[in-house]
């Protein structure tokens, strides 16, 4: 209902008048009306801390955290001890994952309470503890939660809930196991397999009793702990892994449990089993189902195509400067327009990038649905009579799954952006992969039918220009030493991978390791981890973010690309291969840990695919010590560009078109015979 806004106050009124006026607007008007009234009040009474505080609250409620932050900072310039402003800023900082700022304001709140003789407050202590978690100070966090646990519930709203959360968090941290330092100089295969932060026993075998707060506490541990892993701070990695495993266990025990939507994505790089990933995905989908309460829009088999060409809809939240666009746009432009009509449904706004413009040029129509709720997007897809909907997202960021749950098309496919099962057979019929990334033995861990393409399944922009390699000195690289490149994102670098990389460095004393920095603390933690493993920190070199063309050019300065284990390089690995850099990868037990191997087999570098960490080290060292072999592989990669998938987008497009047409035909007639699963790996390389 539209609100009723009282008449504005005339000039010259006092603070008390404005407070009464704003209270009246709060009762009768909308949040937007209240914000406007408070802004007028603050203009009239710029030193009123009460008006400033309430304006910040209104701004936060309307989804303007930056404005709220600015307003509360302005308030603190007038009254530096304002508790509620510090509380608000601490919560905003937590939401923005700014640990130091969150802890700064949380500490001030608790110090001010103590100085004023006020009793300790469970909410403030839990806030302080969360900030400590985000900063990596988990012992201090545990102390905060233990103090919150000892407080009796008060009449303050939410205090008992926060005390209960503090109790659960305290219990979880009490039971965390301290990691032991592995024997870094034991480079047996068993030692290389060892993750010093991984649980050695079933997850949380001494778990606290079940309770309504357990899932909430576990989610806090995972959400905040993951921020430390992005800094390559592995001190509490075991606790984070145990927490997400416990969440997967709870989802398996209760299929109706709804989980935080990010957990399925994060689980891919934490070394979870295929079964655990399946249950996480199902739990995250359950949350989406609960939110959407969707009813299928497409309910009956079509009598036949109602238009001359098969109509394809590509649905993505990442049409723009994002790896998804880099991988898909060349495929889109190669669709046979005599047989297919292509519509892109963009769930993100136009970012002005050249990549977004390429999407517009590659398809028949772009529907900007960035401001639409999922149901509206689905109804538009259904009204457009899309025959095959290809979701480029799954559980990755964005509402692709939410739209797909409304079932707007007869055939719905998960492809490319999320390599695990979505756990939503009502949203996606098929998951497109290949026979190495998802073997026949792995298919039962997918709720979707797995369609394995003959070779790999990735696309790539095979028209990208390769500039000449810059001088190594301009990048801070040595001219006369071997440069090993590990440009995968920081969250993909975990202890097992780093163990193997450091063993390669130990066997190649003249080599340097060139890493991509995405977190301000990453270089400090990795340097310390290298030193623990006997590698001089000076042998680690760090590369900043640069534009796409400069990134491709600088890759040509590397001698060898080293892949990560739990979550391989996908787009990053393709970039290196496109630039002519040989690579080494290691096959794992999940699609995320096998796509690197699938890509290398597809481009003819199957001999560079290892099956164990020790094998990975041996292959990398052998290549590093053989410059002639590396040159031969580099020349081979140059010859692959434009001729062979994934660097032949037209051929990949034809493979996908055959799948789309066959799946749609199957909805209108008798079941089609299953396609034989490609035999992609030679014997003994599984």
Q: What is the mean pLDDT of residues 185-210?
A: 43
Residue 82 pLDDT greater than 60, yes or no? yes
Question: Higher pLDDT residue, 227 or 660?
Answer: 660
Whether 495 and 528 have beta carbons less than 8 Å apart is answered as no
Q: Sorting pLDDT into bands at 50, 70 and 90, what band is 70?
A: very high
pLDDT digits (tens, 9 = 90+) for 657-670: 999 999 999 986 54
Residue 467 pLDDT greater than 50, yes or no? yes
Helix (H, G, I), strand (E, B) or coil at 154: coil
pLDDT digits (tens, 9 = 90+) for 397-417: 899 999 999 999 999 999 999
pLDDT of 7:
61
Question: Higher pLDDT residue, 588 or 220?
Answer: 588
Least confident of 34-43, 141-150, 635-644: 141-150
pLDDT digits (tens, 9 = 90+) for 349-376: 999 999 999 999 999 999 999 999 999 9
pLDDT of 630:
98
pLDDT of 3:
52
Mean per-residue pLDDT over the chain, rounded = 87
Count CB atoms within 10 A of the CB of residue 43.
10
Secondary structure letter of residue 178 according to DSSP: P
pLDDT of 96:
84
Q: What is the mean pLDDT of residues 272-297?
A: 93
Which tokens is 297 given?
A: 């829009």
Question: Higher pLDDT residue, 227 or 559?
Answer: 559
CATH of segment(s) 310-453: 3.40.50.11380
Sorted by sequence, the CB contacts under 8 Å of residue 60 that are 6+ apart come out as 68, 88, 92
Sorted by sequence, the CB contacts under 8 Å of residue 68 that are 6+ apart come out as 56, 57, 59, 60, 88, 92
Q: Sorting pLDDT into bands at 50, 70 and 90, what band is 176?
A: low
Sign of CA dihedral 232, 233, 235, 239: negative
Rama region for 271: left / alpha / beta (φ>0; ψ in -120 to 50; rest): left
Question: Higher pLDDT residue, 111 or 592?
Answer: 592
pLDDT of 193:
54
Sorted by sequence, the CB contacts under 8 Å of residue 187 that are 6+ apart come out as 503, 506, 614, 617
Residue 671 pLDDT greater than 60, yes or no? no
Label each residue of 309-331 as H, E or C.
CEEEEEEECCCCCCHHHHHHHHH
Domain boundaries, the chain: 15-174, 192-211+227-292, 310-453, 472-640
Q: What is the mean pLDDT of residues 120-142?
A: 87
Residue 303 pLDDT greater than 80, yes or no? no
Whether 577 and 554 have beta carbons less than 8 Å apart is answered as no
Residue 204 pLDDT greater than 80, yes or no? no
Least confident of 120-129, 548-557, 652-661: 120-129
Secondary structure letter of residue 304 according to DSSP: S
pLDDT of 101:
93
Q: Which CA distances in Å does 188 have to 191, 330, 627?
A: 5, 44, 26
Helix (H, G, I), strand (E, B) or coil at 390: strand
Residue 465 pLDDT greater than 60, yes or no? yes
**Which string of DSSP letters, residue by residue, matches 443-455?**
GGG-SSEEEEESS
Distance between CA 247 and CA 242 in Å, rounded? 9
pLDDT digits (tens, 9 = 90+) for 413-458: 999 999 999 999 999 999 999 999 999 999 999 999 999 998 899 9
Q: Taking the mean position of all CA atoms in its chain, how far away is CA 630?
A: 33
Rama region for 385: left / alpha / beta (φ>0; ψ in -120 to 50; rest): left
Residue 531 pLDDT greater than 80, yes or no? yes
Work out whether strand 583-586 and strand 560-562 pair parallel, antiparallel, or are unpaired.
parallel
Phi, psi of 316, deg, nearest 5: -150, 150
If we measure between CA atoms, which residue out of 432, 351, 450, 398 comes closest to residue 657? Answer: 432
pLDDT digits (tens, 9 = 90+) for 304-336: 556 889 999 999 999 999 999 999 999 999 999
pLDDT of 352:
94
Residue 182 pLDDT greater than 80, yes or no? no
Residue 584 pLDDT greater than 60, yes or no? yes
Could you say which architecture CATH assigns to the domain 15-174? Alpha Horseshoe (1.25)
pLDDT of 61:
86
Count CB atoms within 10 A of the CB of residue 654.
15
Distance between CA 375 and CA 342 in Å, rounded? 21
Sign of CA dihedral 435, 439, 442, 443: positive
Q: Among 30-44, 126-140, 279-293, 615-629, which range has the highest average pLDDT?
A: 615-629
pLDDT of 208:
36
**What's the length of the chain?**
686
Q: What is the mean pLDDT of residues 253-279?
A: 92
pLDDT of 12:
66
Q: Taking the mean position of all CA atoms in its chain, how far away is CA 233?
A: 17
Residue 18 pLDDT greater than 90, yes or no? no
pLDDT digits (tens, 9 = 90+) for 149-175: 777 555 454 555 666 777 778 777 766
**Which string of DSSP letters, residue by residue, matches 617-642?**
HHHHHHHHT-HHHHHHHHHHHHHHTT
Q: What is the mean pLDDT of residues 253-264?
A: 88
Residue 75 pLDDT greater than 60, yes or no? yes
Question: Higher pLDDT residue, 182 or 347?
Answer: 347
Q: What is the mean pLDDT of residues 511-539?
A: 96
Q: What is the mean pLDDT of residues 551-574?
A: 98
pLDDT of 4:
58
CATH of segment(s) 472-640: 3.40.50.2000
pLDDT of 207:
37
Q: Percent of the chain beyond pLDDT 70? A: 87
Same fold, 15-174 and 472-640: no
């Amino acid at each position: 209902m539209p609100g009723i806004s009282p008449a504005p106050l005339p000039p010259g009124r006092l603070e008390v008048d404005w407070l009464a006026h704003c209270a009246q607007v709060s009762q009768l008007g909308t949040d937007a009306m209240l914000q406007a009234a408070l802004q007028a009040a603050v203009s009239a009474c710029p030193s009123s801390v009460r008006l400033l505080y309430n304006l910040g609250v209104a701004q936060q409620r309307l989804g303007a955290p930056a404005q709220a932050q600015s307003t509360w900072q302005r308030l603190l310039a007038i009254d530096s001890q304002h508790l509620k402003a510090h509380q608000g800023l601490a919560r905003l900082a937590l939401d923005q994952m700014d640990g130091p700022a969150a802890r700064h304001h949380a500490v001030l709140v608790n110090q001010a309470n103590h100085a004023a003789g006020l009793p300790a407050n469970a909410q403030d202590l839990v806030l302080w503890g969360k900030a400590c978690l985000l900063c990596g100070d988990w012992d201090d966090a545990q102390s905060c939660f233990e103090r919150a646990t000892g407080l009796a519930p008060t009449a303050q709203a939410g205090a008992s809930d926060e005390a209960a959360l503090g109790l659960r968090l305290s219990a979880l941290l009490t039971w965390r196991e301290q990691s032991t330092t592995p024997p870094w100089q034991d480079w047996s295969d068993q030692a290389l397999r060892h993750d010093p932060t991984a649980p050695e026993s079933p997850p949380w075998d001494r778990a606290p009793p079940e309770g309504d707060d357990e899932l909430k506490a576990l989610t806090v541990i995972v959400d905040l702990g993951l921020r430390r892993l992005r800094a390559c701070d592995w001190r509490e990695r075991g606790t984070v892994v145990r927490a997400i495993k416990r969440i997967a266990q709870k989802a398996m025990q209760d299929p109706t449990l709804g989980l935080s939507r990010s957990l399925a994505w994060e689980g891919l790089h934490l070394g979870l089993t295929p079964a655990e990933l399946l249950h996480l995905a199902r739990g995250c989908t359950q949350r989406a189902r609960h939110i959407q309460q969707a009813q299928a829009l497409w309910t009956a088999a079509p009598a036949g195509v109602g238009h001359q060409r098969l109509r394809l809809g590509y649905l993505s939240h990442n049409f723009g400067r994002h790896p998804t666009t880099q991988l898909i746009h060349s495929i889109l432009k190669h669709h046979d327009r005599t047989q297919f009509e292509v519509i892109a449904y963009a769930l993100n706004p136009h970012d002005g990038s050249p990549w977004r413009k390429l999407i517009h040029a590659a398809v028949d129509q772009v529907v900007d649905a960035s401001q639409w709720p999922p149901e509206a997007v689905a109804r538009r897809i259904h009204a457009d009579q899309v025959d095959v909907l290809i979701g480029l997202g799954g559980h990755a960021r964005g509402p692709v799954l939410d739209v797909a749950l409304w079932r707007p098309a007869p055939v719905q496919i998960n492809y490319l952006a999320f390599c695990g099962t979505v756990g939503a057979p009502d949203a996606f019929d098929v998951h497109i992969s290949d026979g190495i990334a998802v073997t026949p033995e792995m298919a039962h861990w997918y709720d979707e039918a797995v369609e394995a393409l003959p070779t790999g399944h990735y696309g790539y922009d095979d028209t990208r220009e390769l500039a000449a390699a810059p001088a190594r000195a301009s990048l801070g690289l040595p001219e006369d030493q071997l440069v090993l490149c590990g440009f995968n994102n920081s969250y993909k670098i975990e202890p097992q991978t780093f163990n193997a990389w450091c063993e390669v460095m130990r066997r190649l004393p003249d080599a340097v390791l060139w890493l991509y920095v995405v977190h301000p603390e990453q270089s400090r933690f990795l340097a310390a981890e290298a030193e623990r493993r006997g590698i001089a920190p000076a042998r680690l070199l760090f590369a900043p973010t640069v534009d796409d063309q400069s990134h491709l050019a600088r890759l040509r300065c590397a001698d060898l690309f080293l892949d990560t284990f739990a979550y391989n390089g996908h787009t990053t690995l393709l970039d290196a291969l496109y630039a002519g850099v040989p690579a080494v990868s290691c096959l794992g037990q999940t699609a995320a840990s096998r796509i690197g191997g699938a890509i290398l087999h597809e481009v003819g570098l199957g001999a560079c695919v290892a099956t164990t960490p020790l094998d990975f080290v041996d292959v990398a060292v052998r290549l590093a010590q053989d410059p002639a072999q590396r040159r031969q592989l580099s020349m081979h990669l140059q010859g692959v560009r434009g001729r062979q998938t994934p660097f032949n987008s037209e051929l990949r497009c034809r493979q996908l078109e055959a799948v789309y047409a066959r799946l749609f035909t199957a909805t209108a007639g008798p079941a089609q015979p299953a396609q034989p699963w490609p035999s992609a790996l030679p014997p003994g390389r599984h």
